[in-house]
């Protein structure tokens, strides 16, 4: 968690306490929901990036020679909205696989349509292999990343699909 996220979490807790103290249960309930959603977003994004990092580590132990860079407070666009989050880039020579994940932080950033957070998996020089992801909230379950297919279908994201992206990076020619 970076300093900005920690400060946001602290201020959100303080605002909840003030709302409860002022008898504003409705505001306190909203802030509680917001905090729970932010926690789900952060956890989902960390899982996504950590899984790609672990898979890259496995590939490196097998001799892949990947380099990894991570940028915090990265901004990227999806539709008419701006997501703020993290960017992970895996490099194999001149080829690159970039994973961007985040959510809007201010009203000016827009919204995530149909989910809690958005992500993009991009293959440098091979746009056909790119995929957009959406973190969705499931009832009584942990949030889940889904792939928003070009056909409009929504497919759950599993580690095997992530391995496929990594294999594509390593075998591109």
| Beta strands across the sheet bearing 154-156 | 67-78, 81-92, 95-103, 117-123, 131-136, 144-148, 154-156
Q: Is the pLDDT of residue 163 over 90?
A: yes
- The pair of structure tokens assigned to 142 is 């942990």
Give percent above pLDDT 70 in the chain: 92
Q: Which of 140, 158, 164, 152 is nearest to 48 (CA)?
A: 158
Q: Is the pLDDT of residue 2 over 70?
A: no
Q: Is the pLDDT of residue 1 over 70?
A: no
- The pair of structure tokens assigned to 139 is 């009832």
Digit-coded pLDDT (tens) for 67-117: 999 999 899 999 899 999 999 999 998 999 999 999 998 889 999 988 999
Higher-scoring residue by pLDDT: 22, 158: 158
Q: Which residue has the tokens 């001149």?
A: 94
Q: 161: part of which helix (H) or strand (E)?
A: helix 159-171
- pTM, full prediction: 0.83
Split at pLDDT 50, 70, 90, the class of 155 is: very high
Digit-coded pLDDT (tens) for 13-58: 777 778 778 877 776 777 677 788 888 899 999 999 999 999 999 9
């Amino acid at each position: 968690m970076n300093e900005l996220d920690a400060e946001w979490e602290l201020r959100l807790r303080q605002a909840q306490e003030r709302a409860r103290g002022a008898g504003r249960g409705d505001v306190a309930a909203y802030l509680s929901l917001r905090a729970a959603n932010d926690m789900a977003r952060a956890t989902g994004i960390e899982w996504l990036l950590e899984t790609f990092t672990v898979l890259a580590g496995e590939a490196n132990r097998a001799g892949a020679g990947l380099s990894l860079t991570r940028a915090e407070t990265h901004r990227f666009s999806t539709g008419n909205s701006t997501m703020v989050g993290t960017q992970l880039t895996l490099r194999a020579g001149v080829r690159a696989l970039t994973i961007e994940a985040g959510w809007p932080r201010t009203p000016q950033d827009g919204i995530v349509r149909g989910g809690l957070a958005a992500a993009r998996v991009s293959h440098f020089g091979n746009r056909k292999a790119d995929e957009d992801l959406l973190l969705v909230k499931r009832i009584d379950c942990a949030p889940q990343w889904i792939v928003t297919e070009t056909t409009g279908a929504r497919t759950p994201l599993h580690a095997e699909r992530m391995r496929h992206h990594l294999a594509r990076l390593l075998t591109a020619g």
